[in-house]
Amino acid sequence: MRGVTTAQPLTRGRGSRRAEILEAAAALFAARGFHGTSIEDIGGAVGTSGPALYRHFSGKEALLAEMLLDVSERLHTSAANRVTEAPDAEHALDALLTGQIEFALSHPALITVHDRELGNVPEPARRQIRRLQRLYVEEWVTVLSELYPGCPPPRLRAATHAVFGLLNSTPHSAGELDPEAMAGLLRSMARAALARAQS
Amino acid sequence: MRGVTTAQPLTRGRGSRRAEILEAAAALFAARGFHGTSIEDIGGAVGTSGPALYRHFSGKEALLAEMLLDVSERLHTSAANRVTEAPDAEHALDALLTGQIEFALSHPALITVHDRELGNVPEPARRQIRRLQRLYVEEWVTVLSELYPGCPPPRLRAATHAVFGLLNSTPHSAGELDPEAMAGLLRSMARAALARAQS
DNA sequence: CGGTGAGGTTAATGATGACTAACATCGGGA
DNA sequence: TCCCGATGTTAGTCATCATTAACCTCACCG
């Protein structure tokens, strides 16, 4: 029984394993939390047993770090691009909303983990994630400042966080509405909410 | 060194210790998560060492259960009362908003734990908490149905969850604005967002 | 073929942590 | 005054878990 049943890598696509692990881990972290999920759980979810993960990540925290870094990078660069390409602030805001809603609807687990587990990321990476998050928020605040001049930035920042809360509620109300309708509802609610930040 | 330094209960108010523990635990759970917080941590936060907690709660999960049960009860009964006393749906909605905003602003840790850690509550209690949460949501949906007839309940439910997300964003944007301004901003954004649910 | 590297496997190992046991202390009745 | 209940204390106990060690195996390249 020693090393007899080994298992089949069977010509897997390059790096697909890492991605598969990250995806499984995201789902588990979202459902049970970082500390509530064991390495064995994650391994099990991808069909290998526990320690196999160390062939792909240096540890559990590193795995989380990579996951969150990737999310905050995607959010931020997507936002930056959209804003740059928009003809005016009005369209920029629409584009930001679209980006966040698309992401939240298609990756609910990542969204959940992203705003729950930052505290478990070890220091070198944590700072960078925070930085990207801050930049992402500032992307919104900048657009909103242009749209509602005269509204103090702290208020816009608070409003932005509130809208994130609204948009990221998706994982909690999963299944109530189909994605199309949900996207429309969220967009419309968010726009209306933001319009109230100016007063 | 055996049992020499015992410590002083010193005529504490009745049951105040339980409350003190619950409060400390809420702060720790909010900051580090249920599994990220040890019994020793909680004990330390109230000036006793670890196992002393078992004099007040039967275990860590029981502590969490009591905490969440209390929160969902407070939210639900407060909402039910407010709605009953309101002259019409318009005022009822205002009262619901006021209640949720007051609670979220004054107990950010409880709000955070409340929508993160339900999964760690053991079964008998979990069902009851879920039930109260459902009733709380239905309180909102009922009022909204009256206000926006013709809007399908699933949509109203999704909108309600979205608004909870918006209002509960408070813990994430702590300190940006003073509580007064924050309350006003949240209320105004929430109302505007809800108004969009009808269309 | 021969060996090498990627990716798995099962057994330690060492911490940490929930919970229990055995034992104090003290304030407040009887 | 003496006992008891409420609360603490410290030292186990037993699981669980991250991480490491030591070993396999297979695809592929020369």
| Nearest CA-CA partner of B179 in B120, B97, B66, B102 | B102
Say yes or no to pLDDT of A21 above 50. yes
Residue B176 pLDDT class (50, 70, 90 cuts): confident
Other C-beta atoms lying within 10 Å of the C-beta of residue B149:
9
Say yes or no to pLDDT of B11 above 50. no
Residue A14 pLDDT class (50, 70, 90 cuts): low
Q: Are A165 and B168 within 8 A, CB to CB?
A: yes
* B165 interaction partners in chain A (CB closer than 8 Å): 165-169, 172
Residue with tokens 């670890």: B50
Q: Please give the domain boundaries of chain B with CATH numbers for all domains.
A: 60-197 (1.10.357.10)
Residue from B176, B187, B198 whose CB has the most chain A CBs within 10 Å, to mutate: B176
B171 Cβ neighbours under 8 A, 6+ residues apart: B30, B104, B108, B109, B111, B112
pLDDT of residue B195: 96
Say yes or no to pLDDT of A1 above 60. no
Q: CA at A36, C1' at C18: how many angstroms apart?
A: 14
* Residue with smallest Cα–C1' gap to C18: B39
Which residue type, as a one-letter code, is found at position B144? Answer: L
Residue A197 near residue A143 (C-beta atoms within 8 A): no
- How confident is the model over B131-152, as pLDDT tens digits? 999 999 999 999 999 999 999 9
Q: Are A119 and B189 within 8 A, CB to CB?
A: no
Nearest by CB to residue B164, choosing from A157, A169, A194, is: A169
Q: Are A165 and B158 within 8 A, CB to CB?
A: no
Task: Tell me A118's DSSP state.
Answer: G
Q: What share of chain B is helix, strand, coil (3-state, %, to 5)?
A: 75, 0, 25
Q: Alpha helix locations (H) across A2-88?
A: 16-32, 39-45, 60-85
- Is strand D in 7 Å reach of the CB of B43? yes
When the pLDDT of each residue in chain A is averaged and rounded to a whole number, the result is: 93
Q: Are A161 and B172 within 8 A, CB to CB?
A: yes
**Chain B positions with Cβ closer than 8 Å to A:** 31-36, 115-116, 119-120, 154-155, 157-159, 161-169, 172-173, 176-177, 181-182, 185-186, 188-197, 199
Say yes or no to pLDDT of B125 above 50. yes
pLDDT of residue B12: 52
Residue A9 pLDDT class (50, 70, 90 cuts): very low
Residue A13 pLDDT class (50, 70, 90 cuts): low
Say yes or no to pLDDT of B76 above 90. yes
Q: What does the pLDDT average to over A98-122?
A: 97
Give the torsion through C-alpha atoms of B157, B29, A34, A167, to 10 deg. Answer: 30
Say yes or no to pLDDT of A57 above 70. yes
Q: Are B162 and A199 within 8 A, CB to CB?
A: no
A145 Cβ neighbours under 8 A, 6+ residues apart: A151, A153, A156
- Is strand C in 7 Å reach of the CB of A35? no
Residue B198 near residue B148 (C-beta atoms within 8 A): yes
The pTM (predicted TM-score) of the whole model is: 0.92
Say yes or no to pLDDT of B8 above 80. no
Residue from A120, A151, A161 whose CB has the most chain B CBs within 10 Å, to mutate: A161
Say yes or no to pLDDT of B49 above 80. yes
Rg (CA), chain B: 19
Say yes or no to pLDDT of A72 above 50. yes
Q: What does the pLDDT average to over B81-110?
A: 97
Other C-beta atoms lying within 10 Å of the C-beta of residue B24:
19
Distance CA A100, CA B162 (A): 14
State whether residue A161 is helix, strand or coil.
Answer: helix
Distance CA B193, CA B158 (A): 12
Say yes or no to pLDDT of B3 above 60. no
Say yes or no to pLDDT of A3 above 90. no
Distance CA B108, CA B152 (A): 31
Give the torsion through C-alpha atoms of B114, A43, A23, B122, to 10 deg. Answer: -20
- Is strand D in 7 Å reach of the CB of B107? no
